[in-house]
Amino acid sequence: MSRLRRLGLAWALAGLAAGSVAASAQPAPAPAPSAYQSKLADLERRYTFWSFREYPSSATDAGIHTYDMLLADYSAKAQAAQMVQLRHFRTELVALQPPAGASPHERVDYLLVRANLEGDWWGRAVLRGVQRNPSLYEGECANGIFSLIKREYASDEVRVRAAIARLNACPRVLSQGRANLTETVPAFAQIASDDIRDGDALYTTSLDVIAKNVPAAERVQLAQAQAVALSALHAYRTWLDANRSRFHAPFSVGTKEYEWYLRRVLLLPFGAREIATIGRTELARDRALEVWETARDAQMPAASPAPTFSSNAEFLAYYERSLQTIISFIGSHQILDIPSYIGPFHIVEVPKALAATYPGGFMNPPPMFSSDPQGFYFVPDFSPSNQSFFVQQARQSVLPLLGHEGIPGHFLQFSEAYHNPDFIRHVQGDGVFAEGWAFYGEEMLMRTGLYDDNPGARVQVIHLMRHRATRVGVDVGLATGEKTLPAAIAYFMQNAGIDDDTARGEATRFAMDPGQAIDYLIGKTQIETLIGLVHDRQGSAFSLRGFHDQLLSYGTVPYSTIRYEWLGDDTWLRPVLEPLAPREF
């Protein structure tokens, strides 16, 4: 990530219908901004950079290094001031409701700004992580350090100085957590405790590597700051463990608030029941696909054994070659265009200090506001000792993983989005689009022939389809309160074919962030709907490459807005239109 009705209905019937002709005639909107759109962009720009100032670790991740020596302020005074400012932004947006004659692009930009402001409010007022989630505070310390070390954006000395300042700020953040956590969810406390237990190396080993060549006096300061931060973190964990029996707050947000989030923030046309039905239907299909694939493979020659590697260099070189295999296939099969500005996608090993936190690896795209085009995929240790579910999947083939995280998946998609000239589109981070696109790519590459001679890749793709379908039932059940956490874990294990540790970890984190686990399947389903609609519209002029290129041109935005802008079809937007004004808060 996070990333119009009764009053809006008149706007929808008149404005959207009138705009549909223009949207159909020009599906790739790139006009010069109007005075109205410039006002929207100015509001979004001020809101975005205000948010980065309030949350410095996010700013570092985005390539803004003004606040690298700071951590967020969770004091009651700071939180109250932030809500006041958020209300000011909301008041400004009320006055910027789309005028008669606004273009489809302008109307969508308004909805995107509204979704951002309302999503911010929802996180504060409904999720209430400040009061409910201990991971917020230890995560602020961890992310503050991780954002400094994962990309070499400045000299080691500059980054070490920033790390010293952030390490020394950790006790203040954790102290604020103790004061704020009045509605602590027990399972969230357990996750925070486990993260602290496994996280010391992030603050020591990883930082020591970048401090190796800095002046001795700064190494001394770093060691002192490391001791200060670790002492505070361990004390915070002790406090959480000692008070576990006193934590009784529920994790569910309830059906009403969940569905409000789906429609107003994610701009989805579906309610909880519809989303659950999509998940169950897809799960049944995926189970059948597994059976068919097993029957197919039984009639085929035995698959080649998974490759083994004598050194890390050989292992990483294999990944690099595999990425080139995907890129060559994309070109030869005209899957999509790879713009010339796309930078290198480096394959590097997960630092040992981060292996416990990221056992399946992770992707680091180019920063949102940086000229550095590089992306990184931190691949996990593939030794037999790593039994992570995702590592076991990748052992069958690394191609689906690279397609999801790299090209044509997240790395390519975010790189294109960050080149969008519309500031509002540039900063959008709709999870349904991002994860839906990456997940769609897994099966799309399989169906277009990349894995015809790779049964391990096909098995992996289908198993992960089953996994993502199961996630939908878990997310809906936990968010609405229809499933307890133990029931969600059992459902996960039974239907996704995963181990207890993976199921427990995923289910608990999904409870912290309702609406995230549906991103994959719901986004993929919407793309599949769009491709059929566009194919019907274009007929013999349709091309898969043209469809994909056009889809990516809109930025990381909800598919409901793309259907409207591209096809002049407001079917998915109508359920999110009323009221047009942002919620009062």
Contact predicate 483/511, CB 8 Å: no
Report the distance separating Cα 51 and Cα 53, nearest Å. Answer: 5
pLDDT score of 26 = 38
Q: Residue 27 — very low, low, confident or very high, per pLDDT cuts 50/70/90?
A: very low
Strand 345-349 relative to strand 375-379, pairing: parallel
Q: Residue 14 — very low, low, confident or very high, per pLDDT cuts 50/70/90?
A: very low
Mean pLDDT across the stretch 540-567?
Answer: 98
Q: What is the mean pLDDT of the chain?
A: 91
Contact predicate 134/101, CB 8 Å: no
pLDDT score of 6 = 28
pLDDT for 385 beyond 70: no
Which of the residue ranges 7-11, 103-107, 214-218 would you say has the lowest mean pLDDT? 7-11
| Secondary structure (H, E, C), 346-410 | EEEECCHHHCCCCCCCEEECCCCCCCCCCEEEEECCCCCCCCCHHHHHHHHCCHHHHHHHCCCCH
At 157-185, the pLDDT tens digits run 999 999 999 999 999 999 999 999 999 99
Mean pLDDT across the stretch 19-27?
Answer: 34
Which of the residue ranges 137-146, 345-354, 447-456 would you say has the lowest mean pLDDT? 345-354
pLDDT score of 309 = 76
Mean pLDDT across the stretch 255-268?
Answer: 98
At 180-191, the pLDDT tens digits run 999 999 999 999
More confident residue, 361 or 569: 569
Which of the residue ranges 198-202, 283-287, 333-337, 521-525 would you say has the lowest mean pLDDT? 198-202
Contact predicate 488/520, CB 8 Å: no
Q: Residue 9 — very low, low, confident or very high, per pLDDT cuts 50/70/90?
A: very low
CB atoms within 10 A of CB 342: 17
Report the distance separating Cα 465 and Cα 444, nearest Å. Answer: 12
Q: Residue 355 — very low, low, confident or very high, per pLDDT cuts 50/70/90?
A: low
453 three-class SS: coil
Q: Which of 391, 402, 487, 514 is nearest to 450 (CA)?
A: 402
Mean pLDDT across the stretch 477-496?
Answer: 95
Q: Residue 580 — very low, low, confident or very high, per pLDDT cuts 50/70/90?
A: very high
Which of the residue ranges 360-369, 545-554, 569-578 would you say has the lowest mean pLDDT? 360-369
pLDDT score of 352 = 63
Mean pLDDT across the stretch 235-249?
Answer: 96
345 three-class SS: strand
Contact predicate 161/69, CB 8 Å: yes
pLDDT score of 25 = 34
pTM of the model: 0.91
Q: Phi/psi of residue 348, each to 5°? A: -135, 160
pLDDT for 129 beyond 90: yes
pLDDT score of 357 = 57
Q: Residue 359 — very low, low, confident or very high, per pLDDT cuts 50/70/90?
A: low
- 272-298 and 255-264 helices cross at what angle (nearest 10)? 80
CB atoms within 10 A of CB 501: 12
At 393-426, the pLDDT tens digits run 676 788 999 999 999 999 999 999 999 999 999 9
Report the distance separating Cα 323 and Cα 403, nearest Å. Answer: 8
Report the distance separating Cα 386 and Cα 507, nearest Å. Answer: 21
Which of the residue ranges 148-162, 274-288, 293-307 would you say has the lowest mean pLDDT? 293-307
